[in-house]
Amino acid sequence: MVSKKMETEPRAKNKADFFKTSMSNRSKYAIAWISIIAVVIIAAVVVVIPAWLIQPFAPQTYKDIRISFLLRSWSPLLTMVAVLACVLLATYVWINSKRWFARILLFVPLALVLLFTWFARQNHFEWMFKPLAERSFARASEADFVSDNDMVLAVTINGDAAAYPVRQMAYHHVVQDVVGGSPITATY
């Protein structure tokens, strides 16, 4: 014999119905907000870590460079996925929001994810390692800023030689010059 109370309670016929009845709208709303924040953090990490690991004048290990370039190569795709996820989650929050300020607040994470998506498509390594705008060269006998123990990048073409101090190349990483009548680009 079944009690009347049991007959009046709704029963979940399948798993989807079970989740619909077991989670309140408030819980779903909170999970959506937490997910939006998580998406923003993931987008930030994917973009910021490569810039943090590859800093001028900071020691860089092989592992740091591998991680940096791996994240750098995947960041455009990952940030686009983050934008899509953030828009879908924000749409859910917008529809289920009862307060106007919660809707306005949605623009902050959306703007951040869009900023990280734009930044993922920039070559921030060029921003950090700019070539010299106005370079000048000196003969070896006149170069008082280079000691005998300093490492240099040396190039000889058609009997003409040039040397670029590694200490100065470490920041700029690129120098354009003409050696032996041939234009060259030296990088470090």
- Give whichever of 9-13, 97-101, 105-109, 149-153 has the largest mean pLDDT: 105-109
| Distance, CA of 145 to CA of 173 (rounded, Å) | 18
> What is the per-residue pLDDT across 116-159, written as a single tens digit (0 to 9) for each?
999 999 887 777 666 666 767 787 778 888 888 888 888 999 99
Q: 160 pairs with which residues across the strands?
A: 157
Could you report the per-residue pLDDT of 7-57, keeping only the tens digit for each? 555 555 555 555 555 568 888 989 999 999 999 999 999 999 988 888 766
Q: Indicate the SS3 state at residue 79.
A: helix
**What's the CA angle centered on 29, arms 24 and 32, to 5 degrees?**
130
Residue 102 and residue 36 share a domain? yes
d(CA 140, CA 133): 22
Judge if 19 and 111 occupy the same domain: yes
User: Does residue 148 share a domain with residue 121?
Assistant: no
Q: Are residues 107 and 146 in the same domain?
A: no
* Same-domain pairing of 66 and 95: yes
* Cα gap 82→41, rounded to integer Å: 10
Number of structural domains (the chain) is 2
Domain membership of residue 169 (yes or no) is yes
Q: What share of the chain is helix, strand, coil (3-state, %, to 5)?
A: 60, 15, 30
> What residue numbers bound the domain in which 149 lies?
140-187
Q: Is residue 122 part of a domain?
A: yes
